[in-house]
A and B are shown apart, each in its own frame.
Chain A
Amino acid sequence: MSGSNDIALEMRGIVKEFPGVKALKNVTFSCRRGEVHGLVGENGAGKSTLMKVLSGVHPYPTYEGDIFIKGERARFSGAREAERAGVAIIHQELNLISELTVAGNMFLGREPAVSPFGIINTRKMNADALKYLSSFNIKIDPGAIVKDLSVGVRQMVEIAKALSVNADVLALDEPTSALTETEVESLFKTVRDLKEKDVTMIYISHKLDEIFAICDRVTVLRDGETVGTYDIGELDRDKLVALMVGRDLTNLYPERKSNPGAEALRVSDFSVSHPFLPGEKVVSGASFSARHGEALGISGLMGSGRSELVTALFGAFPKETSGDVFIDGRKVRMRSPLEAIRNGIGLVTEDRKRFGLVLIMSVGENITLACMRALSKLQWVSAKKERSVIEEYSKELNIKAANSRVAVNTLSGGNQQKVVMAKWLANSPGILILDEPTRGVDVGARFEIYQIVNKLVESGVCVIMVSSELQEVLGMCDRVLVMCEGKITGEFTREEATQEKIMSCATGTMSRSGAGAQK
């Protein structure tokens, strides 16, 4: 902590209403100069809305309350004006142009021109970019094309871009959601370097470990209100979670009776070839089985082939897939998602915005999209049947929306995820595959999702859960498969599994023979 008391930014009595919802009721938020200030709360607590108010995305006077930047009253009419005042946001979805170079992105719209004809002085631009990048210890080639960079590096470019327009208040919205461990480390290093240079940072994250690792103070929001601001030293994980959800969560993973039944799925010598590189395999020779009433976890690092395995099982890449699949003992071929659905499989995809939801359609229409056939006769959709399905699953999954006719993109991440789950539950699947079901989902909705999973497993559904979070896999699954470089490198029961064992199989440091009951 800088120790100095001068206030970089202060927001007082912020109220923001949307039609039908009061997103921010009375939020007070202030940051000291040069601190890293965590902003936490469940999805829908108002973090993103607060940041949009701060950065002028919701311009004055569409909100009530006062904003002071370095002691001066600020009434931004748009994001541009906020940027000029030194406030910048790095969004979850990055806003870089992938075909341009790093420098081209950093100086977009203010490129140094070499002549009156407006030809860009690339050399000067690259040199300027390098100056900024190196002054913050960011090691990136300014001439690199952005699309060739990893997500982590792109994020650094975004940060550098913001700093190059003299931002001294920087809000990072879920910056690590798509980063690898090493990338997170280097992000943290950059954050610490920036702090040295008196940049004030607002750090929004669901990953509480990160909050504890990097923040000086934390402000907790709940239901559009400020719960309080705390020095990180006075909190521990449980306390923070309790503040966020407003109740004590004694156990993050709810209890479940484990009573596996007959074999639901058996996969043997299952391979998926790379869509672009002939000869390469993203999944090779995977064999495993899963039972009714069992939760099978699939763990592994990003790029280990987990998602490819389950997506291929769902019939999404028929041309690239080989191997045998048996469902309830029957050999089946799944050449399309439709055939997979007919065989009783459901897939909650990893990236819900791209693959899970039709964002501009209503909550109800999304819920019934995969079960239209059951709701219609000779093409004609029964409005009554549809309504009852929507009502049933909105209620069962506790989907919080003004009504089922609002567009699904107005919902918070957790509720969107529940809509995706509702879509598959409405099909009464025998096998439900969940790929990263709690990514970008807050603690409260997470708990609800776990409860739903448990209920499904208890009712005899075979749940296959892909997750990067080891604790989640260990807390939820009866059995865990570990993948590394397209192969299944380990299999553990709940009792034998530990984080260390899983990590060593996931990184390929443990041999197959040492990896438990691999068949």
Chain B
Amino acid sequence: MKKMSQPARFLTDNGMYIVMALVFVYFAVSAPGFLTANNIARIPLQSAFVILIATGMTMVIITGGIDLSVGSVVAFTAVIFSLILRQYAVAVPLAILGALIAGATSGAFVGFFIVKFRVPPFIATLAMMTIARGLARLFAQNSKIFIENPAIEKYSDFIMIKEIAITNAIGVPYLVVLMLAVVVFLGLVLMKTRFGRYVTATGGNEEATKLSGVNVNQVKFMVYVINAFLAAVVGVMMASKFMNGNPEFGVMWELDAIAACVVGGTSLMGGKGNIFKTLFGALLIGMLDNGLLAQGRSSEMIYIIKGIIILGAVIIDQVKEK
């Protein structure tokens, strides 16, 4: 509880935004082509998939858990979606529904094992990470499943296929619109609803929350279902964007999502976090990717610099806690 001077407090309270502004200015000066409307607009688009997962991940982490399975669930559901469309000439919404159900089911399994058998979330989701990846490869027979179904043409305005991924009438990609809608919706769920309050309380002190009449098992179960459901949404969109279901989609995305949460100030101890800050955390990481690439850095360097920035952001947060 060290007493901080006014400017020091301002700096640490807004650490992430300040780092973001500095990074922005730095790239604007040093990276040719970074500061163009087109490029800036690309950042949220490029980050959208990770942001969608990271919103669900924020909830999971706030309950004191972790979910390593979502990257694999993206691939699994993308394969399921593509498979349904190819094998059975069903309408696209049905295929979407199938993929979403498959995703939510994988989350339900994880939640069930965590709640019922007290399997630590790290282990339960690690298991689901390999299982879902294995299933994706099995169903796809280790190759991509190309979507060859006239039905998808018919719904091209509705789901997010190639052009739609880029832009809509007013120049904002549907993907970004959907991403923002999910962020706002779940952000409000977390801050303004009973369920959201229970999520925070469960992570803060599970025993005390249980004794306050909250069904904490239900809360924990639900966050994994929500997270896996969002991964399935991403899986469907990935398959639509690339017109195939690739069992290698989403490798390591769970880690990108966790990084976004942590940079956004979510505590891995549980009980503390904010989805809107996760959004900015993910955008910061996205901006780094984009800017470093624009500077012409190699991918190895991008990895290293990203790691350092993630560390820095968390250190600022720790200093603030003191």
A16 to B205, CA, bound (A): 30
Contact A379 B194 (CB under 8 A): yes
Closest to A420 in B: B208
Contact A359 B194 (CB under 8 A): no
Within 8 A of B (CB), among A355-384: 355-361, 365, 369-370, 372-373, 375-376, 379-381, 383
Check if A314 is an interface residue, CB within 8 A of chain B. Answer: yes
Which of A314, A354, A381 has a CB less than 8 Å from the CB of B208? A354
A336 to B3, CA, bound (A): 44
Contact B205 A357 (CB under 8 A): yes
Contact A359 B205 (CB under 8 A): yes
Check if A494 is an interface residue, CB within 8 A of chain B. Answer: no
Contact of A62 with B207 at beta-carbon distance under 8 Å, contacts A369-B214, A376-B193, A379-B194 already known: no
Contact B3 A62 (CB under 8 A): yes
Which of A18, A369, A381, A383 has a CB less than 8 Å from the CB of B212? A369
Contact A349 B211 (CB under 8 A): yes
Check if A338 is an interface residue, CB within 8 A of chain B. Answer: yes
Among B2, B189, B212, B272, find the residue whose CB has the most chain A CB atoms closer than 10 A: B212
Check if A341 is an interface residue, CB within 8 A of chain B. Answer: yes
Contact of A17 with B3 at beta-carbon distance under 8 Å, contacts A338-B213, A373-B194, A381-B193 already known: yes
Contact A356 B3 (CB under 8 A): no
A79 smallest CB distance to B (angstroms): 14
Contact A358 B211 (CB under 8 A): no
Check if B224 is an interface residue, CB within 8 A of chain A. Answer: no
Closest to B2 in A: A62
A18 to B198, CA, bound (A): 30
Contact A360 B194 (CB under 8 A): no
A356 to B1, CA, bound (A): 24
Within 8 A of A (CB), among B274-294: none
B192 partner residues in chain A, CB cutoff 8 A:
380-381, 383
Check if A37 is an interface residue, CB within 8 A of chain B. Answer: no
Check if B215 is an interface residue, CB within 8 A of chain A. Answer: yes
B213 partner residues in chain A, CB cutoff 8 A:
336-338, 340-341, 370
A98 smallest CB distance to B (angstroms): 19
Contact of A381 with B205 at beta-carbon distance under 8 Å, contacts A62-B2, A341-B213, A360-B272 already known: no
A314 partner residues in chain B, CB cutoff 8 A:
211
Q: Chain A interface: which size bin? A: 20 to 34
Contact B194 A337 (CB under 8 A): no
Contact A358 B2 (CB under 8 A): no
B271 partner residues in chain A, CB cutoff 8 A:
358, 360-361
A354 to B3, CA, bound (A): 29
Check if B266 is an interface residue, CB within 8 A of chain A. Answer: no
Check if A423 is an interface residue, CB within 8 A of chain B. Answer: yes
Closest to A370 in B: B212
Contact A360 B1 (CB under 8 A): no
What sequence of 0s and 1s flags, for each residue 98-122 of chain B, a beta carbon within 8 Å of any chain A beta carbon?
Answer: 0000000000000000000000000
Contact A379 B2 (CB under 8 A): no
A373 to B193, CA, bound (A): 10
Q: Which B residues fall within an 8 A CB radius of A?
A: 1-3, 189, 192-195, 197-198, 200-201, 204-205, 207-215, 271-272
Q: Which A residues fall within an 8 A CB radius of B?
A: 17-19, 58, 62, 314, 316, 336-338, 340-341, 347, 349, 354-361, 365, 369-370, 372-373, 375-376, 379-381, 383, 423
The 5 closest A-B pairs by CB, nearest first: A358-B204, A338-B213, A370-B212, A341-B213, A379-B193
CB pairs A–B below 8 angstroms (19 shown): A18-B3, A58-B1, A336-B215, A337-B211, A338-B215, A349-B211, A354-B208, A357-B208, A358-B205, A360-B204, A372-B197, A375-B194, A379-B194, A381-B192, A381-B193, A381-B194, A381-B197, A383-B192, A423-B212
